[in-house]
């Protein structure tokens, strides 16, 4: 049994990026934890209904997966670049040292959303082997509506080197994604059922599977 931590800049990133893999880990007996790096706030324009709905969705998603534990910071969404990095690192370090995860799933650094870049860099600061020797594997996932929209000229794009077969879990992944009522729309909106299935089919074809999720393996200590 492995101890796994999935880090999400925002609720729904975990499902878009590695929902099928989460379900597979749990089905295989692993303990999976969820760290949400941001929270909604009325100070940036979210209304009371949006905030309340999200507060209801998070425990529903956690229950649907069967996470062993859930952590959420008070850092305001879309504003991570305004916080001191030391404050972000301190919060993540506390979670890491409490859970001692062996495997970490994290978003791709060059996603178009600024929060994603900050989260990646924060996590990177908490993975030094001499301070966090329990971390054996670090894997970056791709997030529909964020990864594919990056236009940075120095970014070579998301180039996976690890594929995980989620053929048994793609339907459940989509069911869980639908819990986020405000996040999915009809195709050609990027967060649509059709697009989620299309990406899983494309990644699966590369790995000779019906459906797969792809990752960049950043560290693999066996």
pLDDT for res 79: 96
Residues 15-43 have a mean pLDDT of 97
pLDDT for res 208: 96
Q: What percent of the chain has pLDDT over 70?
A: 100
Burial class (CB in 10 A: 0-12, 13-18, 19+), 122: buried
12 torsion bin: left (phi>0), alpha (psi -120 to 50), beta (else): left
Question: Does position 151 have pLDDT exceeding 90, yes or no?
Answer: no
Burial class (CB in 10 A: 0-12, 13-18, 19+), 3: middle
Average per-residue pLDDT for the chain: 96
Token look-up 């910071």 returns 73
Confidence of residue 155 (pLDDT cuts 50, 70, 90): confident
Token look-up 């799933």 returns 105
pLDDT for res 97: 97
- What CATH number should be reported for the domain holding residue 189? 3.40.50.10320
Q: Model confidence over 171-187: pLDDT tens digits?
A: 999 999 999 988 888 99
Range of the domain at 154: 3-220
pLDDT for res 111: 96
| pTM for the structure as a whole | 0.96
Q: Which is nearest to 32 in space by CA: 55, 61, 9? A: 61
- Give the total number of structural domains in the chain: 1
pLDDT for res 93: 98
Q: Phi and psi at residue 51, in whole multiples of 5°?
A: -65, -45
Q: Model confidence over 52-93: pLDDT tens digits?
A: 999 999 999 999 999 999 999 999 999 999 999 999 999 999
Question: Does position 44 have pLDDT exceeding 90, yes or no?
Answer: no
Question: Does position 156 have pLDDT exceeding 90, yes or no?
Answer: no
């Amino acid at each position: 049994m492995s101890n796994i931590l999935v880090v999400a800049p925002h609720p729904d990133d975990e499902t878009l990026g590695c929902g099928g893999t989460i379900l597979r880990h749990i089905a295989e007996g692993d303990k999976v934890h969820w760290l949400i790096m941001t929270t909604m706030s009325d100070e940036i324009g979210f209304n009371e209904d949006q905030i309340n709905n999200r507060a209801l969705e998070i425990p529903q998603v956690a229950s649907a997966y069967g996470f062993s534990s859930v952590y959420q910071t008070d850092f305001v969404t879309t504003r991570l670049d305004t916080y001191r990095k030391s404050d972000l690192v301190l919060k993540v370090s506390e979670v890491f040292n409490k859970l001692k995860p062996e495997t970490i799933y994290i978003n791709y650094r060059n996603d178009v959303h600024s929060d994603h870049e900050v989260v990646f860099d924060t996590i990177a600061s908490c993975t030094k082997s001499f301070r966090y020797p329990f971390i054996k594997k670090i894997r970056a996932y791709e997030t529909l509506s964020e990864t594919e929209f990056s236009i940075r000229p120095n970014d070579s794009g998301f180039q996976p080197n690890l594929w995980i077969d989620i053929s048994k879990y793609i339907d459940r992944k989509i069911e869980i994604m639908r819990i986020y009522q405000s996040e999915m729309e009809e195709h050609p909106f990027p967060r649509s059922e059709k697009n989620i299935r299309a990406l899983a089919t494309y990644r699966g074809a590369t790995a000779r599977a019906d459906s797969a999720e792809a990752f960049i393996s950043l560290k693999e200590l066996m």
